[in-house]
Chains A and B, each alone.
Chain A
């Protein structure tokens, strides 16, 4: 394989990995709980700012992971208890409420760190030679971590007791409750898992992206497109959505420019909403 092909291949894998990473959290919250969390991107943003905070305090960058997990789960618990729970089965109201939450989170971060750009340093962002080309080591690590995270989530959902209960709750909440499953607690935990995944992906992306209070919307939109195409509640759907959206964007962008790449993503999303509203694998 020559250097050019390898580079393009790695770029494609990287794009798919970051897309999967930032979509996972929304897939859990939207796919399993039916809550369209408009503040999803803001949890990614909080993750990125955890790295900013940790570096400001002079602590090792890895401390950002526990920090983001603690901050996001605490905030996730509060939000689920007092914002989402009263609004289950009222999708439009949830959408408005979480959009307001997103604005609040942006303003709080702005009040602490200001509107300006932030940068976090990471020694691993340098390029390392692979074959005939060079690729940033950090990106390779990120791809590996994304695979591990998706695998872990799949095992949690498919193999653990909690996963089984979640599936019961998603399939038939009333029956699940009748069987003695505490669906309230379970929903709360599922929501927390979703927002923590978003926060962790923010920590992982921080050295590679621009950091400012308004970055959340970018991640929300991309994640939403993936779920529109892939449908809700299945891992195969998530993979399919990531493949189609990320693949189309990367391929069309490299051949016909970024404007056409983004236009293609929008057209695909509209077509899916119109023709296959339940996503690529729906049997309806």
Chain B
């Protein structure tokens, strides 16, 4: 490196380092990591809208401990190393004091390793469970939460005797099905098969033949996105929808749009939020969203809405702690609670106790048929 270049880079580094000090008093910067590219990129626009609505709502009632929230968006649809670089720029470069993340677990792993508890990090989407890192607060539904009350309820309503489990071959698909196995056996039913498919699969004929041969009358679908769409369409076209009910814990509004209502007979989805939840809080949220973003707004769904919940949790913990410092937030996180679109949410063991909704499908989309209140996340992190 020659001398001039060295001086230039030193000057650039100094400017970059001084940036956080230059931020206006009375505002606090919050980094929002959402997928803006890649396969999950389709959730980008709706998640961004939910984050904006959350910041505006909190600012309108006086801000975060009196400070106006300013949003900084980063792309979490990249490879973990690149997403870490993006968040590092927002944290060290632009001076973000907290991070809201709605992205996959690979990126979460990288971010947790990067933050080491120095920045409060609110992770919001449905995930497989097990994250106990200091300074990390999880709003997303865990497999235990989505299945523990739901499988016995389905057992009493529909009385399936044989369950078949299918999932994508990665940690979420496998953990979800592993959790389900215990709950299924407790109902007296039997698990007659389970299998895990790579993400590239778009022909499900072999699996469908096995499901038919197994005589299953219930199928747990832990496939994600396009795989779930392809599987459920083919499942219905083979006439299996009348023979076996289906339950999924990541079939949200976009996935259902791909499957089509006609192919979703006897299909149940279990989640902490649906755009069609009709509680007063959820309806108020949906109408505020519609009012703010107009008729062309990206459709609401559980993943995008989780980003909104992340902001509410940040506000609740900050109020309880009376501070935004990472150490004080961590000390105050246990028991922090708020009422949001999902209902009453309370933080326990870095995860949340929240309501879980079960929906079936009509030609108008999801219809909530059962609500379980304040379901535990089943996680045991020490705080």
Contact = CB atoms under 8 A, between A and B. Distances in A.
Q: Is the interface of B mostly helix, strand, loop or mixed?
A: helix
B234 A210 contact: no
Contacts of B82: none
Interface string A101-144: 00000000000001111111100011100000011101100000
Contact of A14 (B205, B258, B259): B205
Contact of A136 (B195, B238, B255, B257): B238
Given A117-B258, A118-B258, A208-B234, A11 B41 contact: no
Given A116-B254, A210-B229, A257-B195, A4 B213 contact: yes
Contacts of A259: 169, 197-198
A212 B258 CA distance: 9
Contacts of B42: 114-117, 212
Contacts of A249: 203
B257 A253 contact: no
Given A127-B239, A134-B238, A259-B198, A4 B209 contact: yes
A126 B237 contact: yes
A258 B229 contact: no
A4 B208 CA distance: 12
A209 interface: yes
A139 B230 CA distance: 15
Given A209-B202, A218-B202, A254-B206, A117 B195 contact: no
Contacts of B212: 7
A247 B128 CA distance: 36
A10 B298 CA distance: 41
Interface string A235-271: 0000000000000011001100111001000000000
B317 to A, nearest CB: 33
A72 interface: no
A258 B201 contact: yes
Contacts of B197: 257-259
Q: Which of A211, A250, A254, A257 has the most CB of B within 10 A?
A: A257
Contact of A210 (B44, B233, B262): B233
A8 interface: yes
B209 A7 contact: yes
A127 to B, nearest CB: 3
A70 to B, nearest CB: 26
A127 B242 CA distance: 11
Interface in A206-226: 208-212, 214, 218
A15 interface: yes
B88 interface: no
A119 B258 contact: yes
Nearest to B238: A127
Nearest to A7: B209
Contact of B237 (A139, A211, A212): A139
B299 interface: yes
Contacts of B254: 116-117
Nearest to A115: B42
Given A8-B209, A254-B209, A126 B239 contact: yes
Contacts of A116: 42, 254, 257-258, 299
A79 to B, nearest CB: 26
Nearest to A249: B203
A284 to B, nearest CB: 33
Interface string A73-89: 00000000000000000
Interface string A1-25: 0001001100100110000000000
B171 to A, nearest CB: 16
B209 A117 contact: no
B205 A11 contact: yes
A119 B259 contact: yes
Nearest to A12: B205
Given A119-B259, A127-B238, A262 B198 contact: yes
A134 B239 contact: yes
Given A114-B42, A212-B258, A258-B201, A125 B206 contact: no
Contacts of A257: 195, 197
Contacts of A114: 42, 298
Nearest to B204: A258
A209 B258 CA distance: 9
B236 interface: yes
B117 interface: no
Contacts of B238: 127, 134-136
B8 interface: no
B258 A136 contact: no
Contact of B200 (A7, A121, A262): A262
B340 interface: no
Interface in B222-257: 225-226, 229-230, 233-234, 236-239, 254-255, 257
Q: Which 8 A-B residue pairs are closest in the complex by CB-CB distance?
A: A117-B258, A127-B239, A119-B260, A115-B42, A210-B229, A254-B206, A136-B237, A11-B205
5 contacts: A7-B209, A117-B258, A134-B238, A249-B203, A254-B206
Given A138-B237, A262-B200, 15 more contacts: A11-B209, A114-B298, A115-B44, A116-B254, A117-B226, A117-B258, A119-B257, A119-B263, A121-B260, A125-B237, A208-B233, A208-B234, A210-B229, A253-B206, A257-B197
